[in-house]
Amino acid sequence: MADAEQPQIYLITPSEFELSIFTPHLSKVLDTTEVACLRLAMSTRDEDRILRAADAIREVTHAHEVALVIDSHIMMVERLGLDGVHLTDGARSVRKARDELGADAIVGAYCGQSRHEGLNAGEASADYVSFGPVGASSLGDGEQVETDLFKWWSEVVEVPVIAEGNLTDDDVRKLATITDFFGIGDEIWSSEDPSARLNEIVQAINSSL
């Protein structure tokens, strides 16, 4: 049950970043806050850029014993020595990813606002599902995931769930007892001090438990 334990932090990289700037910020964040997993979520399709970023970030995450997954690129997981993949097409690619990567790899699935898609992903052997965006956004169709979905999921489904997307301190306080992870990305990377901002979010989580 999601409300039995304190939700963990699941970090998401910016879609674009300069390695020489980002990796020191990441190292400081991991030094100061316990993080369960990091998702490499680059928007580029430049294979060389992804490879260089993954190599540099893997050194940081493995030094801190933090799992590292990559957004969408199933075939890069073993090549780069990563821990798994985060799929963005709901349940559709979960079985393929599991067959390719094996039982020990992390396979996660973003399921938007769809309970049905989340259930299908779980049945297809996803290790977690994520729902979002939680907060308001002008991107995409503007739809937001309802709090009731997390409440229902925490009461009925055993598959761990991530709440992500434009999270505010009020959002994490509201969801702290009904989600397993908070997917935190631009919420901290857009600030001048990502480590301090993440600490504020963790304090908001703790204040609701």
Model pLDDT, residue 1: 27
Model pLDDT, residue 5: 79
Q: Is residue 103 classed exposed, middle or buried when 0-12, 13-18 and 19+ CB atoms within 10 A define those classes?
A: exposed
Model pLDDT, residue 139: 67
What domains are there in the chain, each with its CATH number?
Answer: 2-206 (3.20.20.70)
Sequence-ordered list of residues with C-beta below 8 angstroms from that of 148, at least 6 positions apart, any chain: none
As a whole number of angstroms, the distance between CA 133 and CA 27 comes to 26
As a whole number of angstroms, the distance between CA 134 and CA 31 comes to 27
Model pLDDT, residue 3: 38
DSSP annotation string for 12-69? E--SS--HHHHHHHHHHHHHHS--SEEEE------HHHHHHHHHHHHHHHHHTT-EEE
pTM for the structure as a whole: 0.95
Model pLDDT, residue 4: 45
Would you write out the chain's pLDDT as a tens digit for each of its 209 residues?
233 479 999 999 999 999 999 999 999 999 999 999 999 999 999 999 999 999 999 999 999 999 999 999 999 999 999 999 999 999 999 999 999 999 999 999 999 999 999 999 999 999 999 999 999 876 677 789 999 999 999 999 999 999 999 999 999 999 999 999 999 999 999 999 999 999 999 999 999 98
Which of 1, 167, 44, 160 lies closest to 19 in space, CA to CA? Answer: 44
Q: Terminus-to-terminus CA distance in the chain, angstroms?
A: 14
Model pLDDT, residue 136: 86
CA distances from 73 to 18, 46, 51, 128 (A): 20, 12, 11, 17
